[in-house]
Amino acid sequence: MIIEFGLYALVLSLATAIVLSILPILGARRGDANLMAVAPVAALGQFALVTTSFGILMHAHLVSDFSVANVWENSHSLIPTLYKVSGVWGNHEGSMMLWLFILSLFSALVALFGGNLPATLRANVLAVQGWISSAFILFIVLTSNPFLRIMPPPPEGRDLNPVLQDVGLAIHPPLLYLGYVGFSVCFSFAVAALMEGRIDAAWARWVRPWALAAWTFLTAGIAMGSYWAYYELGWGGWWFWDPVENASFMPWLAGTALLHSALVMEKREALKIWTVLLAILTFSLSLLGTFLVRSGVLTSVHAFASDPSRGVFILAILVIFIGGALTLFALRASSLTAGGLFAPVSREGALVLNNLILTVSTATVLIGTLYPMALESLTGEKISVGAPFFNLTFGLLMLPLLLAVPFGPLLAWKRADLLGAAQRLFFAVAAGFVIAIVIWYFENGGPVLAVLGMALAFYLMVGALTDLWLRGGFGKVPFSTALRRLAGLPRSAIGTAFAHFGLGVTVLGIVAVSAFQTENVLEMKPGQTVEAGGYALKFEGMQRGQGPNFTEDRGTFTLSKSGSSLGTISSSKRVYTARQMPTTEAGIRTFGLSQFYIALGDVMPDGGIVVRVWWKPFIVCIWFGALIMMVGGFISLSDRRLRVGAPSRRAKKAAVPALEAAE
């Protein structure tokens, strides 16, 4: 009975979403405050209903109600409670419910915190959120109903896919969706602004926190996914340029560009049209990602046929929303007035460069991901576009961007002194090279490119700190004064420094692990020892073990350095009983920022076992850098500007021609 109530709540939420889609817009058109006031109520109501429905699905999974097809297919009575919960979104129907839940959550947040928005803007934004919600609820109800029953109920479930039985599943999808779906708010703001035909710096000020929050979650989600793949898939890779990864990476790149262009718009009222377009494109890429992953079009072009209704439905949503928004943009963009002028060398100019490179990178990833599909359907020719292609093209595009990053915050608005900024960054460049050469020396050499790469990484880090150093006035004023100045800086400046520093840390991890990683593939027998990264690894032997829903063969290794023992590492091969599916559990030990990574291979006829041992120097930096970027995002979110009071619509000054003014 309660299951039917879940479906009932879902259908009712569709009705609410439709009301939300229509009435507030009518109200905004006619200036009817009562109709506009429907928006927040409907948004909150829809959130309550979707939450109820999602909660009921979760309850069914928790109590292992196998009369529900979704639970039967993706759960088991014996799996730990955590996996019963995360198993809710470890399948198509449930993950769409999570998508919808987070979308409704964002609508509710706009309703709650949008009190200081102009009434018409709030009504329109919420209505656009209502359109998106309606489309997705309809999609779930018509093609992906998670509440279907089976009669008679089977006694036991078919178990959750073993690869997903990991804490990663509990964290990664919700974070990723918070990012993906968070950009829907920016999209709604953009569409609402186009409908009103009015846009100004205040608009950018309202949009930026949403973009920032979504970006922060997406950063966390992607980093978490990368680490999960790293330890779960068992061959030590952390990024594969897999189409599914690219699907989440594209909105991240576009979102990063959006974050930066919104800054220009907020501060200088420039790049308005471009910012609106980016807001639309970023969420469009989120939708595209959802489509690519959910329709199965990526696994194979023919998977489309296996469930055409879902693929076609999402494709229709995609076409309507992206096409509609872009048409609206084409019709209305010209009515948006251009803003302040700036010289090519200026903070704005640097941010335009950032946007140019990030947009081209996004397009490159998009084209690379879709090219094989397009080519095959047009000519029948099959080609592959894999990691080597992306590493080359994306790498080349990133290089100028990374070089420019430390310059950005040092340049003044309107017109800046490039030579001056370069002089102030001299220390960062020098420090970068010195540290890189020292590391190179301790790693006993390596390719010259590695030195350049590491110098770039440290240049990014020191460059990010340079901005804070100069702003605090360290070295010029007494230390305590400088510290006080630093504490008084706007949080967004500190957030920027964190994010840019984190980028440097990630680059360091990528470069170091590509250049200095060592790998040993060998057959080991108990008692045998192998050297890696200056450590000695001794294979102790294999034991058989039993988990709640799997059996495993566990290999134990002891690690020592120059005679002193550093404890044991174990790595295992599991077979999950319900699905008879084998997995490998890598053995990982962290030393500072570096890691030991051990994966087991085949058992040989003579009793030995194939062991793969990697020493991955600085690999933790890859994810640690993302964590620092995230912290930067949160610090920036706590900025006073974004927290306190209603941002006033500033009286529109006649755009002061910056060029002339400066002359």
Site for other proteins in 610-629 (CB under 8 A): 610, 612
Per rule CB under 8 A, is residue 522 in the interface with other proteins?
Answer: yes
Judged on CB neighbours under 10 Å (0-12, 13-18, 19+), 614 is buried
- What is the nearest approach in angstroms of other proteins to the Cβ of residue 363? 5
**Alpha helices for 87-200 (secondary structure H):** 92-113, 119-143, 167-196
CB of 449 to other proteins, least distance (A): 15
Q: Which is nearer to other proteins, 48 or 603 (CB)?
A: 603
**What minimum distance in Å lies between the beta carbon of 482 and other proteins?**
38
- Nearest to other proteins of 377, 564 (CB atom): 377
CB neighbour list of residue 93: distance below 8 Å, 6 or more residues apart: 70, 140, 144, 145, 146
Helix/strand/coil for 28: helix
Q: Does 74 bind other proteins (CB under 8 A)?
A: no
Residue 357 is encoded by which pair of tokens?
């490179």
Closest CA to 422 of 351, 345, 496, 352: 345
**Rounded least distance, CB 458 to other proteins, Å:** 27
Size of the site for other proteins (CB under 8 A): 80
Backbone angles phi, psi at 146, to 5 degrees: -80, -5
Question: Interface residues for other proteins in 338-377 (CB under 8 A)?
Answer: 338, 341, 344, 352, 356-357, 359-361, 363-364, 367-368, 371, 375
Residue nearer to other proteins on the CB measure, 388 or 490: 388
- CB closer to other proteins out of 45 and 372: 372
Task: Give the shortest CB-601-to-other proteins separation in angstroms.
Answer: 4
CB of 413 to other proteins, least distance (A): 17
- What is the closest distance, in whole angstroms, from the C-beta atom of residue 422 to other proteins in the complex? 22
Q: Are 405 and 503 in contact (CB under 8 A)?
A: yes
CB atoms within 10 A of CB 484: 12
Member of 26, 37, 67, 242 binding other proteins (CB under 8 A) = 242
Pick from 51, 64, 299, 560: which binds other proteins (CB under 8 A)?
A: 299
Which tokens go with 88?
Answer: 């809710």
Provide the H-helix boundaries in 560-619. Answer: none
Distance in angstroms (rounded) separating the CA atoms of residues 406 and 75: 49
Strands (E), 332-385: none
Please report whether residue 599 would count as binding other proteins according to CB under 8 A: yes
Task: Tell me the DSSP string of 270-296.
Answer: -SHHHHHHHHHHHHHHHHHHHHHHHH-
Rule CB under 8 A: say whether 244 interacts with other proteins: yes
- Min dist CB 536 to other proteins, Å, is 19
Among 15, 163, 404, 566, the residue binding other proteins under the rule CB under 8 A is: 163
End-to-end CA gap in the chain: 76
- Exactly one of 108, 298, 461, 505 binds other proteins (CB under 8 A); which one? 298
Contacting other proteins within 173-202 (CB under 8 A)? 173, 176-177
Quick check: 294 binds other proteins (CB under 8 A)?
yes
Strands 587-591 and 594-603: antiparallel
Among residues 81 and 379, whose Cβ is nearest to other proteins?
Answer: 379
Q: Does 437 engage in binding with other proteins (CB under 8 A)?
A: no
Is 237 one of the binding residues for other proteins (CB under 8 A)? yes
660 binds other proteins (CB under 8 A): yes
311: contact with other proteins by CB under 8 A: no
Which residues inside 390-429 make contact with other proteins, applying CB under 8 A? 392-393, 396-397
Subset of residues 551 to 590 that bind other proteins, contact rule: CB under 8 A:
573, 581-583
259 is an interface residue for other proteins by CB under 8 A = no
How many Å apart are CA 94 and CA 87, to the nearest integer?
Answer: 8
Binding other proteins (rule: CB under 8 A), the pick from 81, 377, 384, 562 is: 384
Residue 274, both tokens? 């471009």
Among candidate residues 402, 407, 396, 397, the one with its CA nearest the CA of residue 350: 407
One-letter identity of residue 493: A
Q: Indicate whether 99 belongs to the interface with other proteins (CB under 8 A).
A: yes
In the complex with other proteins, the residue whose CB is nearer, 315 or 603, is: 603
Which of 34, 334, 377, 379 touches other proteins (CB under 8 A)? Answer: 379
Binders of other proteins among residues 75 to 94 (CB under 8 A) are 89-90
My answer on whether omega of the bond before 152 falls inside 30° of 0, hence cis, is yes
SS3 576: strand
Q: How many CB atoms lie within 10 A of CB 139?
A: 20
Query: Distances in Å between the alpha carbon of 617 and those of 233, 503, 569, 598?
Result: 19, 18, 17, 14
Angle between helices 2-30 and 38-62 (to 10 degrees): 160
